[in-house]
Structure 1
Amino acid sequence: MGDLVELTRAPAAFSIPGDAWSGVAHAGPGASRRQWLMPVASTCLYWSGMAFNDWCDRRVDAEERPERPIPSGRVSPGAALGVAAGLGATGLGLAALVGGRSALAVGAPLALMVVAYDALAKDAAVGPLTMASTRGLDVLLGAHASPATAWQPALAMTAHTAGLTWLSRGEVHGTRPEVAAAVTAGTLTVAAATAHAAWHDPAATRATRVAGVGLSGAYAVVVGRAQARAAQQPTAEAARSATRTGIGGFSLLQGAWLARRGRLLAAATVVGAGPAYRALSRRWSPT
């Protein structure tokens, strides 16, 4: 079981529920109660992508990360591919069960982009944008019946993921100061835009505005500080640390968008998952 947890980078799944929930929150009061179960489908698709990623990288990992489950011999390539296929099918099936055809219409492109990133785009120039699209689609999966209503949180998650993926390319050999600096600037821009949207939402109460702005600020400080350290010392360890912090930072960004729409309990749940993510990440790497 521990090998499968490591294969799928299970701790990182704590960053997933807030995507779909943000989409549900922005879909309006007409969203079905079952939509709050959509994160289960998203998590399966995410774990599928992580397992498929290791299958695609098995030869590279044999040289650069021999401790990973496949090159170390703890998980066979065939088993990893089977896990990826099974989780992917489960995720799409759950999405269809919860949201019907409109959910499948978003879930299928999401699954396709996950496969495209792992198999084709990871090392290409469009790699960060390909990965970023999966998180944006994950938000839209929560608002599948009216995806246009969730374009703002979807764009925020997309921008955050693009920077996170770009910086993560330096996890083995180190990054470049200009890359880390650009990613830091992007994080601060996303935080400012999120805070602006929360504070100027005419439907928000004062409490939800304050919560949205506060969580946006926390996101800027926590994630931006780690990325700024990588800009000052662009080592592989700094890049890995900033990447881990960036994954955990999803919860703060998602919480800000949930708070904006008055979903304070959901925001607290998402943000409260942060300590569990950090605890598990110390045992099983999320990157």
Structure 2
Amino acid sequence: MSPRRGAWAELLRISALFTVPGDALAGAAGAGLRPNRSTALAVGASLCLYEAGMALNDWADRDEDARDRPHRPIPSGRVSPRAALTAAAALTGAGLALAARAGRPSLAVGSALAATVWSYDLWLKHTPAGPAAMGAARALDLLLGATATAAAAAPGGTGTASGPGTAGAPRAAARAALPSAALLGAHTVAVTAVSRREAQGGSSAVPLAGLLATGVLGAMASRRSPADRTAAPAPAHGAAPATPVPASRGSLAAVGRLAAPVLAAGYAGTAGRPLLHAALNPSPPLTQRAVGGGIRAMIPLQAALAARGGAVGVALGVIGLIPAARTLARKVSPT
């Protein structure tokens, strides 16, 4: 990798990109729907908006990084502030364009997601609302997948417009996926809270609280999804129902209920071990490892959220991203 490409890879934290596709896929599963073309559009939008947030984050923190982390791409001079800001704006535009292709409801959710990302990076990061804003961003990303998938799955839905057959389905899908969105958002809040001390360390309380949250979230993720896998979410009045995931007489749901606790345990272990180490010794290196572990743990959490509703194939696809994420993380830090 050339020095220029390496600088951009570091700025955009490309090793963390593997934690993004599972948001939309878990959203579709949480709504009781099969992934479709519009799910892929939601994944593309999520990737663009995530990378926009990474570029904007370093642009906004360039003065702080010059003091605490001078090796970062902007303070080291490898990427100019103007280039980083331009990339953030361009990626945001691309993400919103992809969300619009999935339908008006998806564009609405994508716009809320983009607004949350920019608000966090520019204003909320160093306020008490920072972790909650990050949690909201991840939750919205999951709901983006649910609404996009539902618009295309409904009879008459094309994923490119919101006609009469699709008007109520995205709203119903978002309601059905809310429990999964809440779990993913809560995990993100915990990781963000720990990350605020990664450069200084010195506090055992925050990683200890994160460890407790991880245990609770792992237990909840192993439970059966509230979504009914034998029928699609009830649409709003006058709207056509979305197409459900075929349950194959409940066999997939049964397998998923068996797989979800295993995947949830993998999530708890991935996030919990480094958090325990950071709680015992809250030094900057161990705190940074705890943050990295929390980011990597999103993949098994997304897989557990998909599996608990019976979307076993989706869960396996998501968990299959882990080897690639680990390989790239050795070259580019996700934090």
In which range does the TM-score fall when normalised by the shorter chain? over 0.9
Q: Deviations over 1:199-226 (max 9, x none)?
A: 9978663311111111011111221111
Identity rate of aligned residues, in percent? 42
**SS class of match (1:143):** helix
Number of aligned positions between the proteins = 286
Deviating above 4 A after TM superposition, structure 1's stretches of 4 or more consecutive aligned residues are 198-204
Match of 1:174 in 2: 201
Alignment check: 8 A CA contact 1:198 1:213 kept: no
Q: Distance in 2 between matches of 1:200 and 1:120?
A: 36
2:23 aligns with 19
Using the alignment, how far apart are the partners of 1:15 and 1:59 within structure 2? 28
The alignment status of 1:280 with 2:328, answered yes or no, reads yes
Contact kept in structure 1, 2:223 and 2:260, CA below 8 Å = no
> RMSD of the alignment, in Å?
1.8
Q: Does 2:157 align with 1:109?
A: no
Where does residue 51 of structure 2 map in the other structure?
47
Seen in structure 2, the aligned counterparts of structure 1 residues 116 and 194 have a Cα distance that, compared at 3 Å, is same
Are 2:191 and 1:164 aligned? yes
The residue number in structure 2 matching 1:225 is 273
Q: Deviations over 1:221-249 (max 9, x none)?
A: 22111111111111111110011111110
Q: Is the 1:218–1:252 contact (alpha carbons within 8 Å) kept by the matching residues of 2?
A: yes
Q: Which runs of 5+ in 1 are unaligned?
A: none
Whole-Å separation in 1 of the counterparts to 2:330 and 2:202: 22
Contact 2:223 2:257 in 1 (8 A): no
Shift of 1:36: 3.4
Distance 1:41 1:175, change over 3 A: farther
TM-score by length of 2: 0.82
The structure 1 residue matched to 2:121, chosen from 112, 118, 121, is 118
Q: 1:272–1:6: structure 2 CA closer, same or farther, 3 Å change rule?
A: same
Aligned pairs for 1:53-68 within 5 A: 53-68=57-72
Structure with larger Rg: 2
Give the CA deviation at 1:262: 2.3
Structure 2: gaps (5+ residues): 148-169, 231-249
- The 1:135–1:96 alpha-carbon spacing in structure 2 relative to 1, beyond 3 Å, is same
Shift of 1:32: 4.9
